[in-house]
């Protein structure tokens, strides 16, 4: 049976760098940092890390009614808004679609931690009878997928990946395969996260994974740089509208890129720490390249996982060298970490970074790694330091790696008939 080709027709990013495709991409290309001092967490509950890539200008009432806002956690609100932005961007009219041929593959790593904290406080202070009847639907991680389906009337395949920081990348990969197999014509794919909550921040801080360079928030996220001391938490969402090529052409959609490869592997090594040699990550990249029918030298750009942690950035650099060899070490391969600007959106990171890959292909622009002033000698590749660059980008890869040893690589390609 022949496989369907799968294309990207709409993007709906929400981050501290920008909301909506054009605003977000403008901020990325300009090297804008979305990191600042935390406002959402009471001062007495802030850990050693006082900074995050928090979104200050998001108004959920622009996308949903008051009742929905009251019944949903912030990560669900991001998902709904992101899906609406993506539909607008794709010019998708759901009234003209067969709802059973439109599906959702949308995940979250952390879920509704703010709702967990809020309802637990009510439980302790006022008793169980005062907890909201919407407590569980507000906090469980599958609810963005459910809400996106309800919002748009999508009755096709509906699932939720939960693979820590690889979540939305896996969600996109799974959606790609669903369309490829002919099980849906259109998929809402992506992820959302609202982890700037006291318990999440305290937990990551206790594990010493967060940056504590509070004196200059905009410089704190510095992937591949000597001074990096941990990642900066981010929040937001991104939805990609994926369609079969035949469906996209039939409705006259603008095709932004084609998705051609999906690699999915496990480290089988440690619950938190990556393999130093990047073996599992390398296998994910190799699997994506093989599935795409490409050779390593065909890849023009890699949007790295690049979290700004001492161990992770070196492990990924080693993995990239392992896969791309001379293509990488000669600096022909461009690599950047947009987490230097957006912070780390955990389960939503892969979808936000896929957006960057698609836009890099559309505009032939390499997004920068900002704050890369003094590269770590162990990180000696071309990370597009500090400023975006014009360059031909026909093939772009994005990497996402999660706690538990989950590795995912996706490959996007310039669409050709």
Positions marked catalytic? 165, 305, 344
For the chain, counts of helices (H) and of strands (E): 14, 16
Tell me if 335 sits within 8 A of 304, measured CB to CB: yes
Instruction: Compute, in degrees rounded to 10, the torsion defined by CA atoms 239, 151, 145, 69.
Output: 100
Residue 90 CA, distance from chain mean position: 19
Report the candidate in 346, 110, 367, 333 with the shortest Cα–Cα distance to residue 238: 346
Q: For residue 236, give the 3-state DSSP assignment.
A: strand
Residues 6+ apart with CB under 8 A from 370: 31, 33, 340, 341, 386
Structure tokens at 302: 């890699």
**With 0-12 CB in 10 A as exposed, 13-18 as middle and 19+ as buried, what is 82?**
buried
Report the candidate in 304, 307, 288 with the shortest Cα–Cα distance to residue 296: 288
Structure tokens at 317: 């650099």
Q: Could you give the angle at which helices 21-29 and 349-363 cross, rounded to 10 degrees?
A: 80
d(CA 347, CA 82): 14
- Residue linked to tokens 């032939």: 364
Cβ atoms < 10 Å from Cβ of 69: 16
Report the candidate in 175, 182, 181, 193 with the shortest Cα–Cα distance to residue 10: 175
Report the candidate in 365, 392, 363, 169 with the shortest Cα–Cα distance to residue 298: 392
Report the candidate in 241, 158, 143, 159 with the shortest Cα–Cα distance to residue 193: 143
Cα–Cα distances in angstroms (integers) from residue 115 to residues 167, 187, 194, in the given order: 21, 28, 10
Tell me if 16 sits within 8 A of 220, measured CB to CB: no
Phi, psi of 403 (to 5 degrees): -50, 145
Q: Could you give the angle at which helices 143-152 and 74-90 cross, rounded to 10 degrees?
A: 40
């Amino acid at each position: 049976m022949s496989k369907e080709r799968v294309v990207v027709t709409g993007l709906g990013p929400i981050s501290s760098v920008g909301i909506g495709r054009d605003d977000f991409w403008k901020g990325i290309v300009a090297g804008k940092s979305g990191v600042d001092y935390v406002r959402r967490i009471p001062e007495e509950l802030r850990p050693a890390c006082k900074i995050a890539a928090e979104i200050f200008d998001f108004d959920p009432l622009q996308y949903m009614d008051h009742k929905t806002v009251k019944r949903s956690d912030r990560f669900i609100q991001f998902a709904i808004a992101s899906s609406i932005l993506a539909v607008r961007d794709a010019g998708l009219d759901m009234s003209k679609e067969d709802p059973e041929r439109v599906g959702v593959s949308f995940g979250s790593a952390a879920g509704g931690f703010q709702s967990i904290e809020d309802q637990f406080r009510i439980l302790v202070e006022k008793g169980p009878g005062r907890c909201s009847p919407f407590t569980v639907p507000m906090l469980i991680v599958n609810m963005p997928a459910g809400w996106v389906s309800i919002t748009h009337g999508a009755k096709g395949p509906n699932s939720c990946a939960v693979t820590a920081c690889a979540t939305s990348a896996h969600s996109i990969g799974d959606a790609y395969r669903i369309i490829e197999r002919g099980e849906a014509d259109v998929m809402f794919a992506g992820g959302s996260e609202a982890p700037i909550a006291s318990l999440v921040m305290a937990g990551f801080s206790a594990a010493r994974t967060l940056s504590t360079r509070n004196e200059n928030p905009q410089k704190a996220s510095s992937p591949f740089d000597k001074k990096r001391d941990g990642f900066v938490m981010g929040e937001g969402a991104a939805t990609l509208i994926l369609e079969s090529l035949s469906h996209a052409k039939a409705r006259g959609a603008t095709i932004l890129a084609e998705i051609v490869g999906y690699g999915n592997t496990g480290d089988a090594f440690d619950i938190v720490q990556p393999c130093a040699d990047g073996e599992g990550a390398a296998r994910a990249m190799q699997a994506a390249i093989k599935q795409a029918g490409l050779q390593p030298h065909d890849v023009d750009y890699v949007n790295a996982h690049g979290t700004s942690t001492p161990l992770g950035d070196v492990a990924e650099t080693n993995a990239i060298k392992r896969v791309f060899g001379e293509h990488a070490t000669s600096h022909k391969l461009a690599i950047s970490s947009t987490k230097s600007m957006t912070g780390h959106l955990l389960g939503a990171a892969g979808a936000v970074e896929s957006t960057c890959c698609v836009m890099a292909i559309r505009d032939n622009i390499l997004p920068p790694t900002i704050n890369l002033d003094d590269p770590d000698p162990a990180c000696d590749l071309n990370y597009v330091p500090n400023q975006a660059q014009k360059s031909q980008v026909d093939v772009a890869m994005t990497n996402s790696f999660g706690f538990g040893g989950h590795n995912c690589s996706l490959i996007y390609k310039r669409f050709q008939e």
